[in-house]
Structure 1
Amino acid sequence: MDISIIIVNYRSWKPLLKCLESILSADKANILFEVIVVDNFSDDGQFDFYQNKFKNVVFVQNDTNSGFANGCNLGAKRAKGKYFLFLNPDTIISPNTIDVLYTTSKKHPEIGILSCLLKDKNNRHFNQQNIFPSLFQIFGIGRFLYRKTKTSFNGDEELFYPDWVSGAAIFISKHRFEKVNGWNEDYWLYFEDVEICKKISQQNGKITVTRNTTILHEHGGSSRNDFETEHISKTEVLISKHVYVNNNFSALSKVPAHLFLIIFTLIEKSFLTILSLFLFSNIKLKTNRHILKNLCDYYFNAIKKQTWLSKQSVNYQK
């Protein structure tokens, strides 16, 4: 088996349908591949229908919604391929995507993780010029200023080399994947892609993006499909920042990074929550009330349990 395509799904059946159809109709040449869908306990009655509809796809039912990293690792344990392609269910690959990723990786053994251009339904490209978070770049303004001074992504070369790429589309050899012990299950959602890229980089694997193929990505389609899921997902972005800081920052920078995150996040969410009381019909502002409550619960628990992990993480000690 050349490639195992691994997709983690949670109640994203309609986007998944399009994703699977694009995979099964893609140009494959002489490439032998399998498709594995791990369902993170959607528990909505759709699993059996899709399992019967796609007989050539391996469906694995997780017994809990244990997060993206855990779902990917579960799929990898079932995989037979020499290479793994991790895809979000809300992606649609181009006809040449599988061939381009496979041949590029074979041609360039120095590549540790390979991705490609990502665009949304309005044909706008997502940023793949990502830098690793640091004390001064973990906030939006710092990242913006840093990108303005970094020019290594410019040009029309076939390949370019960011620090990390989105987990929406990650192509990696089984050997390299196992060498870094797969995805870190400290994370329930978000920043697990940043960390696996950092681990691969530390082992001299290049994080690479090819311009020779493009994947359509309906960003948020798999994680923000209702109001409750949206505010939980947005809370987890902030929680995962703390997990990343704790796992990857130096001893000297951890404390100020955590403090800055707490202070600026609580100020921002408190302001938006107060604003929502006057503009109560604005759904986005209303979301911030729930995020603020979730964060207060999280910070209280972090002090009580002495851990930055989300309660959703499979590594969280109850």
Structure 2
Amino acid sequence: MDISIIIVNYRSWKPLLNCLESLQTIEDTKINFEVIVLDNFSNDGQFDYYKSKFKDFIFIENYINSGFSNGCNLGAKVAKGEYLLFLNPDTIIAPDTLNTLYTTYKKHPEIGILSCLQVDKKNRFFNQKNLFPSFFQVFGITRFFYRKFTSKALNEKFKIQDDLFYPDWVSGALLFISRDWFKKVNGWNEDYWLYFEDVDICKKISQSKGKIAITCDATIFHEHGGSSRNNFETEHISKTEVIISKHVYINTNFNTLSQLPSHLFLILFIFLEKTFLSLLSLFLFFNLKLKTNRYILSNLCFYYFNAIKKRTWLSQSSVNYQK
């Protein structure tokens, strides 16, 4: 088996349908590939239907919603491919994309992780010129000024060479990696439940002298948020997890001197922002996006209280939380 395509799903059946149908159109290729769908306990009666509809694909049902990292690792354990392609359910892949990723990766042995261009439903390209988070990159205001004053150096860094450019990290929406590299960095970090796990695995590859690359020769459709923010409840939960995962990333990847000030500044900025938006939502009560901030603020109060009590930055949903 050349490639194992691993998709972690949680109640994203409609986008997943389009994704799987696009994978069925991949016929004109000499590459042997399998498709593994790891369902994170959607528990909504759809699993058996999709399993019977796509009989050529492998469906695995998890007993809990263990998060993206754990789901990816579970899929990788049963995968037979020499290469692993982690793919979001809210993506649509063109018939030639798989071949482009495979041939490009083999042509450039210096690459540890490869991805491709992404467009949204308005045919706009995602900005994928990503830098690793640092003290100046974690916060919106400092990130803006950092990029402004280093724009010349960044333009040189992201210069396209041989139809490739090299960001610090790529989105987990599409991440192509050899099994050897995957084993070398011990797979996905299960401290993360949702978000920043893609940044973390790219960081580990980079620290091991592997390159992170994006090919301009392939493009996928990506309905951003279509797999994690499909209703009001998952919206505020997922946005809370973004903040929690920032703390996990800081604790995992920042040096000792910058950890504490980064945690404290993040807490301060988040509380100021969410408190202001929560108060504003009381007046603009018809705006649902503003309303989510009240729930996020409540979630974060519980999280920070628990972080102090348990002395951990991990989300309670992380499989490593109780270890």
TM category, shorter: over 0.9
Corresponding residue for residue 137 of structure 1:
137
Alignment partner of 1:240 is 2:245? yes
1:106-128 Cα offsets, whole Å, 9 max, x none, are 11111000000011010111111
2:220 aligns to what?
215
Aligned residue number for residue 297 of structure 1: 302
Q: CA deviation at 1:23?
A: 1.1
Map 1:127-276 onto structure 2 (within 5 A): 127-148=127-148, 149=151, 150-151=154-155, 152-155=157-160, 157-276=162-281
Q: Secondary structure at the match of 2:73?
A: helix
Partner of 1:117: 117
CA distance in 2, matches of 1:155, 1:30: 28
Secondary structure, counterpart of 1:317 in structure 2: coil
* CA–CA separation in structure 1 for the residues paired with 2:28 and 2:167: 28
Please state how far the C-alpha of 1:28 moved relative to its aligned partner: 4.4
Gaps of 5+ in 1: none
Q: Secondary structure at the residue paired with 2:60?
A: strand
Aligned with 2:221: secondary structure? strand
- Report the RMSD for the aligned CA atoms in angstroms: 1.1
Q: CA deviation at 1:156?
A: 7.2
Aligned 8 A contact 1:27 1:96 in 2: no
Amino acid at match of 1:48: D
Query: Any residues of structure 2 matched to 1:43-58 within 5 Å, and which?
Result: 43-58=43-58
TM-score by length of 2: 0.97
Which residue identity is paired with 2:209? N
Q: What is the rounded CA distance, in whole Å, between the counterparts of 1:8 and 1:144 in structure 2?
A: 33
Range with bigger deviation, 97-106 or 139-148:
139-148
C-alpha distance in 2 between matches for 1:307 and 1:224: 26
In the other structure, the counterpart of 2:95 is: 95
Q: Which moved more, 1:93-102 or 1:146-155?
A: 146-155
Equivalent residue letter for 1:309: L
Q: 1:142 to 1:154 in 2, by over 3 A?
A: farther
Pair 155,173 (structure 1): closer, same or farther in 2 beyond 3 Å: closer
Separation in 1, partners of 2:191, 2:160? 37
1:236-287 CA distances to partner (integer Å, 9 max, x unpaired)? 0000000000000000000000000000000100000000011111100100
Aligned residues: 318
Distance 1:274 1:231 in 2: 16
- Superposition TM-score, scaled by structure 1 size: 0.98
Cα distance between partner residues in 1 of 2:190 and 2:160: 36
> CA contact under 8 A between 1:28 and 1:99: conserved in structure 2?
no
* 1:117–1:125 CA contact under 8 A, matched in 2: yes
Q: Percent identity?
A: 72
8 Å CA contact 1:119–1:214 kept in 2: the answer is yes
5+ residue gaps in structure 2?
Answer: none
CA distance in structure 2 between the partners assigned to 1:237 and 1:177 by the alignment: 24
